[in-house]
Amino acid sequence: MAAEGRWLHPVAGADEVTVPVQGPDEEALLLAVARGDQAAFAALYDRIGALVHGIVRRVVRDPAQSEEVTQEVMVEVWRTAVRFDPDRGSARTWILTMAHRRAIDRVRSEQASRNRTQRVAGQQHARDFDEVSEHVEVAFEHEQVRTALDTLTDLQRQAVELAYYQGYTYREVAELLDTPLGTVKTRMRDGLIRLRDALGVA
């Protein structure tokens, strides 16, 4: 647990929280969870619950729904932990990927019930995407991520951020950015590849 002494501090908002730097102990905890170890699950919750809640809040926004989704994600971590394969990525990636997807699913199902009236009324995309940059500024982790995002072209960055942080599909992103679908898909991919390289993600 070499990383234990290092903590990252958010600058954002009232929900002050500390999150430990990612470390191999998370894999160990998740593997223990897969064997039914509830104490390991509690430890994992303490370690990563704020990150799960953070990404869910960012995408879902509504506090009550975010709480529900966070709970769903953590219960799913428990239920499906046996699927985690450390050879395929870190525990943190596995959990945050699940959290993001659950959050997206929630946003989409909300949109499905709201869209009709809103879109017809021309209020489509009420979420101004200036917010995106602001949210990234607010975020605390690492100058590294900020710096890496700065290496992207505007279109790459907007495509990635609109999708990841705002939950838009690539089709919606294409519409928002008035860019062809194929271009948006390509920019999402080459933008992420550039980020991957800038962040040194294996």
Partner 1 sequence: MVERPDLHTLTGAYAVDALPDGERELFEAHLAVCAACEQEVQELQATAARLGAISASRPPAGLRARVLAEIDGVRQERPEAAAHTVLDELAARRSLPRLVTGGLGIAAALLLVAVGGLAALVLSLQGQVADLEVVASAADQTSSELRTVTERLAQLEQQTTDTPVPTSSALTDVLAAPDAVTVSVTHDDVLGRVVASPTRGEAVFIAEGWEPAPHQHTYVLWLINPDGAAPAGLFDPDEDGRATRVMTGDVAGATAVGITIEPEGGSPVPSDEPMMVLQLS
Q: Scanning residues 147 to 176, which ones bind partner 1 (CB under 8 A)?
A: 160, 163-165, 167-171, 173-175
**Structure tokens, 50:** 């704020």
User: Does residue 3 touch partner 1 according to CB under 8 A?
Assistant: no
Beta carbon nearer to partner 1, 29 or 57: 57
Residue 86 and residue 193 in contact, taking contact as beta carbons nearer than 8 Å: no
CB of 2 to partner 1, least distance (A): 18
User: Does residue 86 touch partner 1 according to CB under 8 A?
Assistant: no
115-154 binders of partner 1 (CB under 8 A):
115-116, 119-120, 135-136, 138-142, 145
Q: Is 145 buried (19+), middle (13-18) or exposed (0-12) by CB count in 10 A?
A: middle
The residue behind tokens 């501090």 is: 9
**Packing angle between helix 91-120 and helix 24-34, nearest 10 degrees?**
80
Three-state SS for 19? strand
**Structure tokens, 177:** 């950015």
User: Does residue 112 touch partner 1 according to CB under 8 A?
Assistant: yes
**Structure tokens, 170:** 């690539």
CB of 89 to partner 1, least distance (A): 5
Beta carbon nearer to partner 1, 2 or 202: 202
Count, residues near partner 1 per rule CB under 8 A: 97
Using CB under 8 A, which of 3, 24, 62, 82 touches partner 1?
A: 82
